[in-house]
A = this chain, B = another copy of it.
């Protein structure tokens, strides 16, 4: 095959990183580029489309393509299941169910999960261990109106996260990261000191507009989430 879209993409990217195509500058149109690379327009199109997806260039019909003034820096972050995350560290994973109770949703949770007045939730507390040491504390609420099956299910052996991804895969979610000070309970579970700075993730999950679950994941001291771009 003559010129591949990867070669075109790499070449354009090289010109941009070397400053031959400075930020803000306009690029030739697809027809001209195709001619100069000696390939089909579709080939150039794919290269340019990917560069646009990567946030390097900006494309607008009729206006043409230009190098972004401020390239969009973004990372693609995997959301792993905690068991896999631990085993990828080369450690042994252990799960324990701490508590599991169906109850009416407290007000703050009703607001968070957009629940109706009398919706009931299943409140689960779990611990995840890596090589026997506390790794993550999970505090989860499942909307029983959306997922009544959850009430019958036994979470002693398999964590709610794994059950959820097998029961309702392909959901939408909102995630947030922040830092919290360990309260007495969490300090106890995670084997740290009250007041320690801990990394916490919150996640709300929907399926077709209905809130399925809200979870707070608190990690052991020193936990880091790392990404490349």
Interface residues in chain A, defined as those with a beta carbon under 8 Å from any beta carbon in chain B: 13, 16-17, 23, 56, 70-79, 81, 165-166, 169-170, 172-181, 195-200, 208, 222-229
Most B C-beta atoms less than 10 A away, residue of A81, A174, A177: A177
Do B180 and A179 touch across chains, with their CB atoms under 8 A apart?
yes
Q: A177-B177, A179-B180 are in contact. List 10 more A-B contacts (CB 8 A).
A: A16-B170, A74-B76, A74-B78, A79-B229, A173-B228, A174-B229, A175-B226, A178-B222, A179-B223, A181-B195
Do B70 and A165 touch across chains, with their CB atoms under 8 A apart?
yes
A79 to chain B, nearest CB (A): 4
CA distance A179 to B197 in the complex (A): 6
Most B C-beta atoms less than 10 A away, residue of A74, A165, A169, A225: A169
Do B81 and A70 touch across chains, with their CB atoms under 8 A apart?
yes
Do A176 and B75 touch across chains, with their CB atoms under 8 A apart?
no
6 contacts between A and B (CB under 8 A): A70-B169, A74-B77, A172-B229, A176-B226, A181-B195, A195-B195
Neighbouring B residues of A199 by C-beta, 8 Å: 177-179
Choose from B173, B174, B195, B224 the contact partner of A73 (Cβ within 8 Å): B173
Choose from B177, B197, B224, B229 the contact partner of A181 (Cβ within 8 Å): B197
CA distance A178 to B199 in the complex (A): 6
Assuming the contacts A70-B165, A197-B198, asked whether A225 and B178 have C-beta atoms less than 8 A apart, the reply is yes
Closest CB pairs A-B (n = 9): A179-B179, A197-B197, A73-B79, A179-B197, A176-B226, A181-B197, A179-B199, A178-B224, A177-B225
Do A224 and B177 touch across chains, with their CB atoms under 8 A apart?
yes
Neighbouring B residues of A166 by C-beta, 8 Å: 23
CA distance A79 to B75 in the complex (A): 8
Choose from B23, B56, B174, B200 the contact partner of A227 (Cβ within 8 Å): B174
Neighbouring B residues of A72 by C-beta, 8 Å: 78
Do B76 and A169 touch across chains, with their CB atoms under 8 A apart?
no
With both beta carbons as reference points, the residue of chain B lying nearest to A168 in the complex is identified as: B17
CA distance A149 to B17 in the complex (A): 18
CA distance A184 to B147 in the complex (A): 48
